């Protein structure tokens, strides 16, 4: 589900409704491990709407509606958007999402002086290898294929600089 802005969402009847989300999680819906984590988080959210889940792999993904985080940037590292429009990334995203869902204790140690930098370093390695480890093409190929698909199916072509 894609939310068009940070203050409201478009309900099925087309009316704009206030939202109660506290963090908007941008995730790769084509990544099996990412989807597994998101499904876990959705269960913990239990329909409360505290976390807005935005699938960046959806062809309808709109960077402008999601903190200006473009597809390629979002694919490189996990990002989230706070209600005030602030964009956060990397382990901070997990820390905040888990905190919002009442499970902050899981990532609390990542704020400690030695553990925090170590976890950040491990995440950087994971982010760099995520696509290969899940059997997917490299980021440049994914971006090119997406752009070609959008150009052919929706006329959303970008000119090269």
Domain extent at residue 72: 8-154
Tens of pLDDT, residues 23-36: 999 999 999 999 99
Percentage of the chain beyond pLDDT 70 is 86
With respect to residue 67, please indicate whether it lies within any of the assigned structural domains.
yes
List the beta bridge partners of residue 89. Answer: 79
Mean of per-residue pLDDT scores for the chain: 87
Question: Which residue is listed with tokens 């440049």?
Answer: 140
With respect to residue 3, please indicate whether it lies within any of the assigned structural domains.
no
With respect to residue 160, please indicate whether it lies within any of the assigned structural domains.
no
With respect to residue 97, please indicate whether it lies within any of the assigned structural domains.
yes
With respect to residue 2, please indicate whether it lies within any of the assigned structural domains.
no
With respect to residue 1, please indicate whether it lies within any of the assigned structural domains.
no
Q: What is the pTM of this model?
A: 0.83
Task: Please state the three-class secondary structure of 34-67 as a single string.
Answer: HHHHHHHHHHHHCCCCCEEEEECCCCCCCHHHCC
């Amino acid at each position: 589900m894609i939310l068009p802005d940070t203050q409201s969402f478009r309900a099925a009847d087309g009316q704009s409704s206030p939202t109660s989300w506290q963090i908007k999680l941008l995730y790769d819906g084509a990544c099996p491990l990412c989807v597994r984590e998101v499904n876990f988080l959705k269960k913990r959210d239990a329909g409360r709407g505290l976390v807005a889940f935005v699938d960046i792999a959806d062809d309808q993904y709109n960077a402008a509606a999601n903190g200006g985080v473009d597809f390629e940037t979002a694919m490189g590292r996990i990002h989230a958007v706070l209600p005030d429009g602030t964009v956060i990334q990397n382990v901070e995203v997990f820390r905040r999402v888990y905190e919002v869902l009442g499970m902050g204790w899981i990532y609390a140690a990542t704020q400690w002086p030695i553990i925090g930098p170590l976890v950040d370093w491990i995440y950087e390695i994971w982010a760099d290898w995520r696509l290969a480890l899940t059997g997917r093409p490299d980021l440049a190929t994914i971006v090119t294929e997406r752009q070609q698909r959008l150009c052919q199916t929706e006329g959303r072509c970008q000119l090269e600089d």
